[in-house]
Amino acid sequence: MGLFLIHNLIHNLIYNRNFPLAAVQFFDKPVRLLDVSSVYWHNKNCAFFHPTHTLGIASVKRIAAIITEYRPNSHADVIVTKFLKGFPTDEGLIPPQVEIVSMYVDQFAENDLSRQYAAEHNVPIYNSIPRALTLGGDKLAVDGVLLIGEHGDYAWNEKEQHLYPRKYFLEQICAVMATSGRAVPLFSDKHLSYNWHDIRWMVDRMAGLGAPFMAGSSLPLGWRSPWLEHEKGTPIQAALAVGYSGLDIYGFHTLEVLQCMAERRAGGETGVASVLCLEGDAVWEAAQAGRWDRRLAEAACAPIDTDRKPAGSMEENCPNPALFLVDYRDGTQGAVLMLDGYVETLAYAANVGGEITGTEFYLQDGDPHCHFSYLSLNIQEMFLSGVPTYPVERTLLTSGVLEAALDSRYRGHVPVTTPHLDISYQSYDTIPWRPRGLRPTGASLLPFP
């Protein structure tokens, strides 16, 4: 193993004389790269990295990827591929410290990537979830799980919810953990499920097993322009997030923008009392009636570049807006405003003590989708430490609010009381990995290897 490490160091010295020799130390026992931030070097022409899983280090955490569909630009591609190849960020191309050792793929698209990457990285694809978790044996044989239940040919229900089998997948994963007598960290992509019974069950089952659990969107880990992060304990009176696209797929992302900021208010998160969905002219009429603050929408949209926002007003460019009114149990007013036709990005604004401030939540268009690098690096931190980097209760709450909003819409745009969303928690203190610039820079702009 030592000779292999030396070979890699020499290879990098040939092509990059600034490669930091101090980044690797040798011990009599299995080693691990000690300083991830110094294991790479990049400039405008190149980026080098050597994933630790190529070193054959016995102590590297083994991860199973449980996937609905793996095709170009799917969530499996923008997450799992980075765990195979590395994480491009503004600071450089960062090598993974864990190893994907198995996959289960539920559906193979015509442009499937899983078989190609599995062959390139010597990762077996198993024909069942239990076999992927046990590596073909009879006990749990991995140290963490990526559950990427997004994309694929699955049914839609009458409320326009996409019925991804996330809870069904998690049932099988938890069964293997329970029968093996060992729980491991798991990340579940996007909202937890499409009905409250399954949403609540997923969180409770993982907690009952003692398994570290993260879930949710990449939006909280995108770029913010201008930079805005509420200090914990901020006296937020009202908050609003702006989004676009479908209410199921992007309504959730926009709720995660709202919640990752609103949870930092004074007293922490206390839960949601009721949710109302409005559409069309009723959205603007509700603003005129004082049910939501139009100034927040203007402040949220103000930082958005003109290439993502046309000239003219919201009303002129958005013929069918949608609004989720989120009444928090502590009296804070929350709102999600979906402005299809007016914006192609997400944004946020809040009223804090009478002062209104806004920011764009910017995501990178196209490869290498580096906001997913920052999400994946935070997931990796949980795999390594066994401690989630932010609370799963955020996504428990946003998943429940989304279901309530779509119920409100389906029932004829009536308020839905949500006593089950009596969910209290505290936001994070710090996030290990996140961009701090206004737009992607550095290796985030280089071709993905």
Per-residue pLDDT tens over the stretch 250-302? 999 999 999 999 999 999 999 999 999 999 999 999 999 999 999 999 999 99
Q: For 196-208, how does the pLDDT look when each residue is reduced to its tens digit (9 = 90+)?
A: 999 999 999 999 9
pLDDT of residue 307: 85
Backbone φ and ψ for 348, nearest 5 degrees, come out as -150, 150
Extract the tokens encoding 360: 């764009």
Domain ranges of the chain: 2-219+369-390+430-445, 223-362+395-421
How far is the C-alpha of 117 from the C-alpha of 438, rounded, in Å?
33
**pLDDT at 23 exceeding the cut of 50:** no
2-219+369-390+430-445: CATH topology is Rossmann fold (3.40.50)
How far is the C-alpha of 60 from the C-alpha of 98, rounded, in Å?
5
pLDDT of residue 308: 86
**pLDDT at 324 exceeding the cut of 70:** yes
- The mean of the pLDDT values for the chain is 89
How far is the C-alpha of 97 from the C-alpha of 32, rounded, in Å?
8
Q: What percent of the chain has pLDDT over 90?
A: 85
Contact between 217 and 256 (Cβ < 8 Å) = yes
| CATH number of this structure's domain 223-362+395-421 | 3.30.360
pLDDT of residue 35: 36
**Is the pTM here over 0.85, yes or no?**
yes
Report which of residues 55 and 168 the model is more confident about.
Answer: 168
Mean local confidence (pLDDT), 124-139: 98
How far is the C-alpha of 167 from the C-alpha of 129, rounded, in Å?
13
